[in-house]
Amino acid sequence: MNEPLTRKIIISAPAHEKLINQLQGRGFDVAYLPAISYEELFKIIPDAEGVIVTTRLGIDSTMINQAEKLKWIGRLGSGMELIDEQCAKEKGIVCISTPEGNRNAVAEHTLALTLNLMNNISKSFDEIKRGRWLRNENRGVELSGKTVGIVGYGNTGSTFAKLLSSFNVTVLAYDKYKDGFGSGYIKEANLEHICRYADVISFHLPLTAETYHMANADFFNSLQQKPFFITTCRGPVTDTTALINALTSGKLAGAALDVLENEKLDRLNSIEMCQLDFLTAQPNVIVTPHIAGYSNEAFSRMTEVLIAKLQSLNMI
């Protein structure tokens, strides 16, 4: 007598334990392999019905063509740049992301970076650790009454705008693929308006061929208000060389980055090492290690969103 076929799901990145429990509770054989390499995944993916990823591993056409039984790819978080969606579509494989799960975490982190930068919090703390108590030199700039430019008005950009509701700001929001969302303090704008009027500019874009190095020399040179620049989306959306030039030439009041073009610090080339050394040495720059969407709540909520979407599609 033949044994019943087992439906296998591979989780290739750290995930909340309830994701494993809920999938196992539905009868799936769950392979929880948060440290699996691309080569190891390639060997076992032919047996998988579903695979769950983050930004740790790419699911390219080679991997997809190897996945003979694959029905869906689940992405914990936002951004699908590491998945060959076109190849998946041609194979009838459904791709699912969960930006609703961590949009609040990203928005809160963006606000935290903004307030930190404008009020010299990290800067003054570093000075105190060196025995320097400098008050006049660390006068802050209030967010209240300022104009905030938001580039990209999707899940995270719109959530960040909502968090700003109590700060008495004007939000200029630009999204090439959206309109009709302006209301009250949120004004629809184009990129030229943001570059001309914004005191703070925050990027919330996916990484695509269109957005690669969107924050480039032309962008920074067009800034009129010497704004604070914040990015919590994807590193390659910003041209690091252009950003550094904007800082050194005084086009920016400061910059806060949760993302870098190359986030594998053990694999930086000599130019990237010099760039990171420069950025971390500046008193008006903050760099955090791509943690904006990594709150404890988001870690749990992304699981809930993925399960709900898989259920709605009758995938589990």
Per residue in 152-203, pLDDT tens? 999 999 999 999 999 999 999 999 999 999 999 999 999 999 999 999 999 9
The model's pLDDT over 117-161, given as tens digits with 9 standing for 90+, comes to: 999 999 999 999 999 999 999 999 999 999 999 999 999 999 999
Instruction: Give the C-alpha separation, 231 to 245, whole Å.
Output: 17
- Catalytic annotation present for 39: no
Catalytic residue chosen out of the listed positions 204, 234, 261, 301:
234
Active-site residue 56, yes or no? no
The whole-model pTM stands at 0.94
Say which of 100, 263, 272, 304 is annotated catalytic.
263
Pair of tokens at residue 180 = 């009709």
Catalytic residue check, 40: no
Catalytic residue among 26, 56, 193, 290: 290
Sequence-separated (6 or more) residues with CB below 8 Å from residue 135: none
Under 8 Å CB-to-CB from 313, ≥6 apart: which residues? 72, 94, 96
Contact 178, 157 (CB under 8 A): no
